[in-house]
Amino acid sequence: MATSFSVLNPPAPWLAGLCLALSGCGTLPPLRVMACDAPSAVEIAHEGEVAKTTFSVLTYNIEGLGWPARSGRAKDLEEIGKRLAALRSSGTAPDIVLFQEMFSGPAKKAVEATGYPAIITGPRRTTRAYKSNRDPLPGRSNLRLGEWGVHLTGSGLAIASSFPITHVDMRAYGRKSCAGIDCLANKGVVLARVAIPGVPIPVDVYNTHMNSRDASKAPAERNIAAHDRQALEASEFIDNTHNDAFPVIFGGDFNMRHSEERWENFSRYQYLMLVHRICADPGSGCDVRMSWDGDEPWMDTQDLQFFNHGVGVSLRPIRVEAMFDGGTDSPVLSDHDGFLVTYQLSWPASMRTGSNCRSDARTP
């Protein structure tokens, strides 16, 4: 028997998903390629035999859903684009931005309006999942929630960079690795290999948006199992695409706030260090410029960044702060604050610093 619904009164998740897809389908994803010789060199400091530089990474869920899942978002999305563009003009913008929920036309235009010279996007609507778990999730699938195997929109992921992006790869999460209305989007993970001028080797930067909890409308046993599968698939993707010689950053909206079970599952697969955990240590030398409550501040947010060193090049967070959080000159423009991390890279001054701006870059 065919599933039917009234055009005037369709099931809300279906309507939300259809409008989410249609609201952005007329706007092309923002894509920009930056020439290797375009950026000016970053400031490199020398302390004895060690060279150092810093760069910043913002992860920001811009709430770029279409009507009726969200309404009245165009103005705030436009303001996000304008404010990041203004920060770029003043030289104070984040060097790299990881965007999530870039679904609607206004959301795509906002990312493009930021003016970043290098922009890549994550899995498209038709990007196929690779070697994903095909076993059914616990419980029964719900067609009214969109668990019917057809994606209506892409992942909503984008990475914008002030530095050249020399290599891009992506993986869509499996069709049996999503639960509830999250299945309407082809969620996944995307890699941008970023070449920072003057640094001997590039940095691998990953961005993701994982299955939600209550917002998915799926029962807990299904959305937790879906999140666990996505955590495993993200880990496999990083293992398969990351050059261990390069420093690595993995950020995004992980949807693990207040969920011990999700954290436990995720931690089984990830070897990367958590910025929150490092910076919560008073002896870390990390400057915390945001309000953190309790001993485990990472449990109070969806927006996280993980990292690890490269071979001969050390990476560590030296400052964390919020953006678009309602502070001075930083209005709230989404249902998420931006999470900004400033990292320090250091390496032996004697290390060869030839061009790292090529897709086949290897350890010098």
The pLDDT assigned to 146 comes to 76
The DSSP bridge partners found for residue 119 are 32, 160
Of 114, 153, 128, residue with least CA distance to 26: 153
Q: 0.85 cut: is pTM over it? A: yes
pLDDT of residue 4: 30
* Intervals of the chain under pLDDT 50: 1-17, 19-23, 360-364
Contact 165, 117 (CB under 8 A): no
Residue 26 pLDDT:
64
CA separation (Å) from 346 to 50, 197, 286, 309? 7, 13, 15, 10
pLDDT of residue 333: 97
- What is the residue-wise DSSP string for 155-222? ---EEEESS-EEEEEEEEPPTTS--GGGGGB--EEEEEEE--TT-SS-EEEEEEE---SGGG-S-HHH
pLDDT at 150: 85
Name residue, tokens 């807990």: 220
Which pLDDT score is estimated for 99?
98
CA distances 3 to 6, 64, 139, 141, 197, Å, are 11, 29, 20, 14, 56
Say how far apart CA 67 and CA 104 lie, in whole Å. Answer: 9
H-helix segments, the chain:
12-25, 74-90, 105-113, 220-241, 260-267, 275-279
Would you state the pLDDT for residue 14? 45
Q: Which residues of 89-114 are buried (b: 16+ CB within 10 A; e: fewer)?
A: eeeebbbbbbbbbbbbbbbbbbbbbb
State residue 11's pLDDT score.
Answer: 42
Is the C-alpha dihedral spanning 230, 206, 286, 50 positive or negative? positive
pLDDT (0 to 100) of residue 293: 83
CATH superfamily for domain 30-348: Endonuclease/exonuclease/phosphatase (3.60.10.10)
209 Rama sector, left if φ>0, alpha if ψ -120 to 50, beta otherwise:
beta
